[in-house]
Chains A and B, each alone.
Chain A
Amino acid sequence: MRYLDEFGDPDLARALLDDIHRTVTRPWALMEVCGGQTHTIIRNGIDQLLPEKVTLIHGPGCPVCVTPLETIDRALEIASRPGVIFCSFGDMLRVPGSGRDLFRVKSDGGDVRIVYSPLDAVRLAQENPDKEVVFFGIGFETTAPANAMTVTMAKQLGLTNFSLLVSHVLVPPAITALMESPVRRVQAFLAAGHVCTVMGMSEYEPLVEKYHVPIVVTGFEPLDVLQGIRQALVQLEEGRAELENAYPRAVSYEGNPVAQQVVREVFETCDRAWRGIGVIPMSGWRLREELAAFDAEKRYDVTGITTEESSLCRSGEVLQGLIKPVECAAFGKECTPRSPLGAPMVSSEGACAAYYQFRRLEPTPVTAWGTTA
Chain B
Amino acid sequence: MCLGVPGQVTKVWEANGTRFATADFGGVTKEICLAYVPDVVVGDYTIVHVGFALTKLDEKSALETLELFRSVGLLDEELNVISTPTEPTSAAG
List A residues at the B interface (Cβ < 8 Å). Answer: 1-7, 9, 11-12, 14-19, 21-22, 34-37, 48-49, 61-63, 89, 116-120, 139-143, 145-146, 149, 153, 156-157, 192-195, 197-198, 220, 223, 227, 248-252, 256, 258-259, 262, 363
Contact = CB atoms under 8 A, between A and B. Distances in A.
**Chain B interface bracket (under 10, 10 to 19, 20 to 34, 35 or more):** 35 or more
Interface of B: 1-8, 16-18, 25-26, 33, 35-38, 45, 47, 49-52, 54-55, 57-59, 61-62, 64-66, 69-70, 72-73, 75-76, 79, 81-87
Contacts of A194: 1-2, 4, 47, 49, 54
Contacts of B49: 142-143, 146, 194
B93 to A, nearest CB: 10
Contacts of A6: 62, 66
Contacts of A157: 16
Contacts of B5: 1, 4
A89 B50 contact: yes
Contacts of B1: 34-36, 61-63, 139-143, 192, 194-195
Contacts of B75: 19
A64 to B, nearest CB: 9
Nearest to A247: B65
Contacts of B76: 15, 18-19, 22
Given A142-B1, A192-B2, A256 B59 contact: no
B35 to A, nearest CB: 6
A145 B54 contact: yes
